[in-house]
Structures are given as C-alpha cells and as structure tokens.
Structure 1
C-alpha cells in the first residue's frame, strides 16, 4: 500500500470527496454521508442556503443572487473554505459533536492518482479545518480496488478503471501498489455534454441538465450496443422558441456522439497496457478489467471497452461506493498486508 495500513487503522473517519458526490465513513457507524458535492450560496450575504441534494435541485432554478457552487472537481478541492462549510453541514450537529469528543481526531481522505502536492495540501487543510489533528491520504484507485474486492495485496495483476464524473483513472495494481496508471480528463460529465451538444446542434433541443439524465433517456434498452432501439423519443425545450417539444432521435447517431469523448479513454487504456510489464499483461488476460465509479453504469460502456481491449470487463457491485467502502475496510482493519514466509529462503 502507498499508505501505511497501521496508520489507517488509527483513523476515526474517512472522506471521499468527488466531483459528483461526497461520502463520509465513520469507524463503528459505517457510511453516514452520501450527498452531491454542491452548495447553494447567497452572494449578497455569503450565507449557505442549502447543501447536498437540495442544493443540486436548485441548479438552474435560482434567482441571480443565489449561486450553486461545486467546491470539488475531479476529486480535487478547489475552494477549501466552501468545502469545509459544505462538509460541516453534511455531517450535521450530532455527528460533529461525536467527532469532537475524540481527543486526537484522525482522518483519511482519498486523492486521485498522481494528484499534485497543492491538491493534496488542499484536501488536508479542508479536514484539518474540521478538527482533524492528522490526515492520511489514500490513492483513490487503491481504495476502489479494495472496495470492489480485488486481491490488491497479491502478486497478481489487477486492472481497474475508475469512471468518475470529471475524470477517468486507469491503473494496473500488484502487491498493493500501482504499477502503471493514467488519469484521463474525460468522465461522465463529458459524455453527458456530448449528448446534449448533439441534441442542440442536430435537433435544436435543449434538455434541463438536472431534472433528467440525458444518457438514460437517449440510450434506453441496450444502450451503446447495436441491438438497442433504432430511435428514442426525447422531450426538451426548443432552442429558438423556448416551447416544450419532443423529437425522435436516431440512437446510432447518439452512439457516434458518445464515441468521441470515449476515444480518449480507450487511448489511455492502451497507454497503460503498453507501459505494463509483459508478465502482468498476461495476468490481465485472465483476471480482466474491473469497472468502478458512478459512470461505469453507462449502458453498454463495459462491452465497448471489452471490444476495444479484447479482455473480459466486469462492473463492480455498487460501483459508485467502492472507494468509500474500500477506505472503510482499511479503517476497520479488514485488509491484511502480504505476509512474507520467513522459512521460504531456508529451503
């Protein structure tokens, strides 16, 4: 592991702040917070109007002086003060009182692979501002691999693809460490935008970004696969008149629009495989690829990546919770380091 398992067992709380959702695991209590990473702020007074789900519902529905902000993007804190205020409200008074009773509160936080020192410092300062005396940083990829049950401590290669809202991380792990990895600035948001842009340019239709999930509408049935429906009816607002109307959309054309951002993901997988030692690539032919993250549930994405790599691809159970559950397993001491047999060299 890149972080000491012994240090993680001493932590009381684990925080996974992603571009889409913030999740908090408390030792002994389990997952206590799972809310969207956003806050609604009154720009006139600076006061918080809402956080989490309620703030997300306000997107695009507020007067000018109320702004919905996201203090985290791609797993990196970009606004420390707002992230602290958001976390403080998400935790609630009761839980914060419980945590304050800890004489030396230790926290663990997930950070994207290869995040720069400034990004790591922002994460640490966010939790220190909430009362943590020490913060352990855990690589998001390793935490997710633990959370989905991969044998990360074994001397066997495992490949994981983290499909987040803002980024996609591709990594090969062995003996509890990352052998090679790539972070690609394409995630579920980029795929959503590709569909929205297609509908705007070809059908002059605007979809409300929060009230509907455009991909789930446009890719119903078998999704990205060719066996899906030929056309799909979508309701939206006319660009010119603003009047609500529905159009029949060619599903094949939507697939083509989605393939454009996914090209970068396929290229990233190719780079990881080329940099990986041959023995580990041979392992991957058997173990395959595990997909985690909320965007892993995009219909047909697993099949698309399987066809591109020629390897078996499986979606983890509860893919959106793998990272926080993996951190929770480390806090609870459920992950054991690779044991070294002292008698092995004697024979």
Structure 2
C-alpha cells in the first residue's frame, strides 16, 4: 500500500479508473459513479457529446465526425485531459460543488500493481485537474482484497486474482502487504478477441462491436465446462457479402480457441505460488483463491482454475466493485491495522 491508513482516512473521495468502467466513491455517501470509461467527442468542434453508458452505446454507430474514445487503457490513464473531462461530467455539477467546499480536497486512487512512475503521475494529474490538492495511491490488489472482505491485515495468507478487462493481477497478501504478485497483460478483452478471431477464421463471420459481449453469447449455459450446450447461434455480418448471417457455433471449438489467454493466467498463478514462502502456500491450500473484477464472471473460469490448481476458488459477491469498495472502507476508517507493539528489552 503506497498510502497509510491514516492518510486515506483524511481523503474525501476515491476513484477507480479502469479500462472498462470508472467508479467513484464519496466519503459518507457511497458509490456515486459506476459508468463505462468512454467519451464521445465531436472532432470538428472538440465538444464532448456523451460520457459513460450513452457513449458506450454510440461505439461503432456514429458519423465520421464523432469519435468514441477511451482515456484509460490497461488501468493507466493515456489521455489525461479527456479523463478529466469525463470525470467532471460523470460526477455532475452538484457533487463537484459539494467536493469543492472542502478546504483541502483529498482523493485516493487505485493503481495497477507495479505501475511505473509515469502511470502513477498520470493518475495524480487527472485528479489534480479536478481541484484535488492531495492524491493518495493504493495498489489495486490491496484495495480489492479489502473490498471483498479478505483478512488482509492478519498474519495469514490470502490469494487474490483481479480479473480486469485489459490485464489480470494475481497476488498473495499477508500482514497488509503484497508478498508476491504478477501482472499479466491478459484480460477479458483478450478472451473476447480470441472468440472474435475464431468466428472470423472458421465461419467467416464478423461480430458487431455492440454484440452484447461475444463471450456471453458463445459461452451461454455452463460456459467453459463440457456440460454446456453443444452449439449456440451467433448473429453477425458475412465477411464476403457484407450481409447479415447467422451460424451455429460449436462451443467445444470456442473453448479451444480461448485456451491460449487462459493458459497465460494459469502460468501466472503458478509463478506466484512458486515464489511464495511454503508456510503461506500451506494456508492457501485451505483458503484458496478469491476472484474479483468484471472478468471474474467469465462462465466456468472458476471451475477451470479449481481443476488446474487443486485449490478452492471463490468469486466475490460483487466482484466488479470490490476495488472501489475497498477504497471506500479505508476512507471511512473501517479497516483496523494489526497492532505490532515493540517488545521491551
């Protein structure tokens, strides 16, 4: 954790800027923003047309002079000015006026594990542009672990896997700190892309960008497991003719197509466990892995991890908002650090 709990208690709001969604928690109020990280811009005038869900719906459906942009990629702000404009509109005038009444406005923000100084600076600059005077940074892994109720501050091992849209982060935590962790450039988008490429190569079908997540369409039922439906119908556009067409897709073939990105996640888990002290690994044999993040709801992923690791695998109650809820718990002072009193000599 970059910031101390005492510093975080003085913060007034917290922001989780993700590649897929942006979430804002205001102290004393709760979660006030949970919207897609997207903004629609008029390229002729530079005016902001829409943000959040409306901008997301406009993706792939706009005239040439309207562009839908995503200012966050892989958990890192890549367009600071656009991220600031998006946050201003998502918060709304009333909430921004209430926050500006604070004498010294303080905020907390999630950053991916091992984020480089430029990525940390981008997150700070984004919030400073909103009038924040002091920004505290918190590792996403620790925030998510607190948000899903893991005993992070105790001298026992907890393993968490944050499944994001652009990356997957795996860590073993103990005594409020990260013992060992890995950040893998594979997330829900990579799995979706594997399915899109499979349908294009095998069935000459192009899926629209607004296709209600191709993953959920192709892996309905029990998803990645063999007990799921043998085939499912997919609607898209024919590569050659450009006309609308429907095909029956073999879900077993889809499972094979997404094995490559999922294998990378399994390799990352193995690497974390190999670098972990034996005593902590023994704890994990009983407690298992906690999955959080929007992509944790990938159908059948938890069962695949159980079979591959032989460990219990759990999905958080609300996996998509665990990180921002963890930040909120720290802001509200609901986390009590373990007191380590020095022994007298």
Shared fold by TM > 0.5? yes
Report the counterpart of residue 154 of structure 1 in structure 2. 154
Tell me the SS of whatever aligns to 1:141.
helix
Alpha-carbon deviation of 1:213? 1.4
2-structure distance, mates of 1:100, 1:160 = 36
CA distance in 2, matches of 1:209, 1:163: 21
- SS of the counterpart of 1:108? strand
Secondary structure (helix, strand or coil) at the match of 2:162 reads strand
Structure 1 residues 252-267: aligned runs within 5 Å: 252-267=252-267
State the match for 2:323 in structure 1.
323
TM-score, normalisation: structure 2? 0.98
Does 2:95 match 1:104? no
* Shift, 1:209, TM fit: 2.0
Of residues 1-10 and 308-317 in structure 1, the stretch that sits farther from structure 2 once superposed is 1-10
Distance (whole Å) between structure 1 residues aligned to residue 2 and residue 137 of structure 2:
9
- Cα distance in 2 for residues equivalent to 1:101 and 1:75: 29
Superposition deviation, residue 212 in structure 1: 1.8
Is residue 217–residue 234 contact of structure 1 (8 Å, CA) maintained in 2?
yes
Q: Deviations over 1:21-65 (max 9, x none)?
A: 000000011000000001011111111111110111110001111
Structure 2: how far apart are the matches of 1:58 and 1:26?
28
| Alignment RMSD | 1.2
Instruction: Please tell me whether residue 336 in structure 1 is matched to residue 336 in structure 2.
Output: yes
- Give TM-score, length-normalised by structure 1: 0.98
Q: Which residues of 2 match residues 1-347 of structure 1 at below 5 A?
A: 1-340=1-340, 345=343
Contact 2:291/2:314 (CA < 8 Å) preserved in 1?
yes
Give, in whole Å, the separation in 2 of the partners of 1:184 and 1:254. 22
Q: Distance in 1 between matches of 2:333 and 2:208?
A: 44
- Once residues 174 and 253 of structure 1 are traced to their aligned partners in structure 2, the CA distance between those partners, rounded to angstroms, is 40
Shift of 1:210: 1.9
Runs of 4+ in 1 over 6 A off after TM superposition: none
Matched positions, count: 345
Q: 1: CA distance between counterparts of 2:253 and 2:330?
A: 44
Moved more, 225-234 or 183-192: 225-234
How far does the alpha carbon of each residue in 1:134-185 deviate from its partner, in whole angstroms, 9 at most, with x for none?
A: 0000000000000000000000000000000000000000000000000000
**Structure 2: distance between partners of 1:100 and 1:46:** 26
Q: Show structure 2 runs of 5+ residues with no match.
A: none
Residue pair 1:305, 1:313 contacting (<8 A) in 2 also: yes
